[in-house]
């Protein structure tokens, strides 16, 4: 098998296993936090701490992989998920809210590594297939849409302690991810291209480019709105007396919306361009907000979160593809690190805000906040994004 295809397939499988952990935690995390927290306004703190762990680890993860390679870095991330899952299980078993919060930080570190799967797929693919490779790897998370909630429903009451069984699935998934990654064979780091391409530009110069601003703003607002709604939805559904099975159903189809479009989003990006797909994602997210604002029935939560998932996919895939055109091979690690730091820093803020806004202001204020963020993304998408005169895209590496 061609090594490029083999790498993309392995990255797709590891995306599936790591995303299953994330979906599992997304289904039970806020509810477990609510059960353990004395102050119920802090119920989403473990979920927020996971996103903070991701934001703080994006730059170290990128720099580590620059030094030791993608495979070793990804295995380190998978092992962080394994340890974080074990500590979370102990916290739930003992009823320690602070320990659950601390363990979530380690789970967030693992996500920082896993988020680089999409960039690794771009690096191992030819320039004309990069958007498809990114989208296909993200589509690996489609398995998580079914396996994650299924595991949550099947294990939530497996032990006398509610949610313990769900958290015990996370270490197993982490070890499975690490085992799959052993077969990854990535090309040499592109930073070696500096020998022929000249010195790398300062990161501030790269970040000032309109093409970078458009790309990162789409990802920031897409990820931020998704975190805002996905973190708050289980609590909002519980507040409106919906069952845990209903919540798992809604999260399941949210994740389907996130990853199913991966089979064709790359083609849409190639045909219509990144900015058009970003705008389409924004429109779908705005429709999600409208659906959620109209009623609090299960069907409205289902429609809203499914549209939110599809909108996130369009914004995230198109933004991730666009950002690969903003840097030269020698600038790859620093630019990807800056990109993910901004994206997951925003996600951390929205995750924390979700619980606070929901507890003190209500679900409608959460939705208004999401709408404002989406309008900001729309304004960013209208910026003129043009390449520099010199070859700065990943295509220069081919």
pLDDT tens digits, 341-352: 898 888 878 877
Give pLDDT, residue 232.
83
Taking only the tens place, the pLDDT of each residue in 306-316 is 999 999 999 99
Q: The domain containing residue 307 runs over which residues?
A: 3-188+197-397
Reading the block at residue 104, the tokens are 């979530």
Do the Cβ atoms of 247 and 238 come closer than 8 Å? yes
Q: What is the pLDDT of residues 28-40, one digit of tens each?
A: 887 888 889 888 7
Q: Considering only CA atoms, which of 122, 87, 111 is closest in space to residue 20?
A: 111
pLDDT for position 387:
41
115 with 22: CB under 8 angstroms?
no
pLDDT in tens, 260-278: 887 788 889 988 999 999 9
Burial pattern 62-89, b for ≥16 Cβ within 10 A else e, equals bebbbeeebbebbbbbbbbbbbbbbbbb
Q: Which residues contact 5 (CB under 8 A, 6 or more apart)?
A: none
Question: How far apart, in Å, are the Cα atoms of 239 and each of 31, 86, 242, 307, 379?
Answer: 11, 29, 8, 22, 34
Lowest mean pLDDT, pick from 115-124, 154-163, 252-261, 349-358: 349-358
**SS3 for 85?**
helix
pLDDT at residue 190 above 60? no
CATH code: domain of residue 375: 1.20.1250.20
From the number of C-beta atoms within 10 Å of its C-beta (0-12, 13-18, 19+), residue 188 rates as exposed
Q: Which residues contact 36 (CB under 8 A, 6 or more apart)?
A: 91, 92, 95, 96, 97, 100
Q: What is the mean pLDDT of the chain?
A: 85
For residue 390, the model assigns a pLDDT of 40
Q: Among the residues of 37-163, which ranges form H helices?
A: 45-68, 70-94, 97-114, 117-123, 130-139, 142-155
CB atoms within 10 A of CB 388: 15
Measured CA to CA, the distance from residue 78 to residue 146 in angstroms comes to: 21
Total domains in the chain come to 1
Q: Sorting pLDDT into bands at 50, 70 and 90, what band is 300?
A: very high
């Amino acid at each position: 098998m061609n090594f490029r295809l083999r790498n993309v397939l392995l990255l797709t499988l590891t995306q599936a296993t790591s995303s299953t952990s994330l979906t599992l935690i997304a289904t039970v995390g806020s509810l477990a936090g609510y059960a353990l927290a004395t102050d119920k306004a802090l119920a989403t703190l473990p979920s927020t701490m996971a996103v903070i762990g991701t934001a703080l680890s994006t730059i170290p993860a990128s720099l580590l992989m620059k030094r030791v390679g993608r495979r070793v870095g990804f295995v380190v991330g998978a092992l962080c998920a394994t340890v974080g899952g074990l500590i979370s299980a102990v916290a739930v078993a003992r009823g320690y809210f602070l320990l659950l919060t601390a363990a979530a930080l380690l789970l967030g570190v693992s996500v920082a590594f896993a988020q680089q799967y999409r960039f690794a797929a771009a690096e191992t693919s030819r320039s004309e297939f990069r958007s498809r490779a990114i989208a296909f790897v993200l589509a690996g998370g489609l398995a998580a849409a079914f396996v994650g909630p299924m595991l949550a429903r099947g294990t939530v009451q497996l032990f006398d302690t509610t949610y313990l069984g769900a958290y015990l699935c996370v270490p197993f998934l982490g070890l499975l991810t690490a085992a799959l990654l052993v077969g990854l064979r990535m090309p040499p780091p592109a930073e070696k291209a500096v020998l022929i391409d000249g010195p790398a530009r300062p990161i501030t110069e790269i970040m000032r480019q309109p093409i970078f601003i458009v790309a990162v703003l789409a990802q920031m607002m897409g990820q931020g709105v998704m975190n805002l709604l996905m973190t708050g939805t289980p609590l909002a559904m519980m507040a409106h007396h919906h069952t845990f099975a209903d919540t798992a159903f809604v999260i399941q189809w949210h994740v389907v919306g996130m990853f199913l479009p991966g089979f064709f989003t790359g083609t849409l990006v190639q045909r219509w361009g990144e900015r058009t797909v970003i705008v389409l994602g924004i429109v779908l997210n705005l429709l999600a907000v409208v659906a959620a604002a109209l009623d609090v029935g299960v069907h409205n939560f289902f429609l809203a979160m499914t549209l939110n998932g599809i909108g996130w996919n369009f914004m995230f895939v198109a933004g991730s593809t666009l950002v690969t055109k903003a840097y030269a091979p020698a600038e790859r690690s620093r630019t990807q690190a800056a990109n993910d730091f901004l994206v997951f820093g925003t996600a951390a803020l929205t995750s924390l805000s979700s619980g606070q806004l929901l507890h003190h202001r209500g679900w409608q204020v959460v939705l208004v906040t999401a709408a404002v963020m989406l309008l900001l993304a729309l304004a960013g998408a209208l910026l003129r994004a043009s390449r520099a005169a010199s070859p700065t895209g990943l295509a220069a590496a081919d």
